[in-house]
Chains A and B, each alone.
Chain A
Amino acid sequence: DTAVSQTPKYLVTQMGNDKSIKCEQNLGHDTMYWYKQDSKKFLKIMFSYNNKELIINETVPNRFSPKSPDKAHLNLHINSLELGDSAVYFCASSQDGSFNSPLHFGNGTRLTVT
C-alpha cells in the first residue's frame, strides 16, 4: 500500500531514445510534482500539477513533458535522451496547493543514459 509509487526503479537506456516514468499516488492528494536529483544530491523542481494547472520550471528542456491522465497519476516523458539527463527522478504529492502541506515522495527512478 505504497503511498507514492514510481516505475521503473531503474532505467538504463541509450542516447536519443524516448522513455517514460510512471507515478501514482493513493493518498487522494490534489497536487503532484516531479523533482530531479543530481549526483550532488541537489533537488530541482521540474513540474508541478495542481487542479489541472501545470507549472513548469522554465529551465527544464522541452524534451521533458508531464502527462496527467487523472488526479492520481503524473507521468514523465523524456524525448531524445542525453547523457546529462542521467539522475534520480522523484515524484511527490501533497494534499493540495496550500503552503503548509508537506510533500510525500516516491522512492525515485534512477535514470542512466549511455
Chain B
Amino acid sequence: EPEVTQTPSHQVTQMGQEVILRCVPISNHLYFYWYRQILGQKVEFLVSFYNNEISEKSEIFDDQFSVERPDGSNFTLKIRSTKLEDSAMYFCASTPRLNNEQFFGPGTRLTVL
C-alpha cells in the first residue's frame, strides 16, 4: 500500500542553523501539507501546497519557513534559522483531493539545541 515517507526520522541541530525536512508524498496525490506537533500539545497546521504553490499558510509559517517541490516526488520544508521553540515533531501529509482523508508520514522529530 502506498505511503508517505519522511526523512530523517530525527534531526538534531544547533540554534541558528538551517534544516531541511524531506517528504515523499503518495505519487498520485495533488495536495501536500506540513503540520507540527510540539511534545504534549495539539497538532498545528503550517502550510498547504497545491499546483506548485502555497495555497494556505498559518501564522507560524513566517519568513523563516519555506516549502518546495523540487521534482515530481519530493516535498521539502526548510527552516532557515532554527530557534529553540522550533523543536517539535513535523508531519507531512498528502491527499488526492480536498476534504479527503489526509495521509500522514511517520514524522520527523526536530530537536534544536
Partners in one complex: no
Q: Which residues from chain A sit less than 8 Å from chain B, CB to CB?
A: none
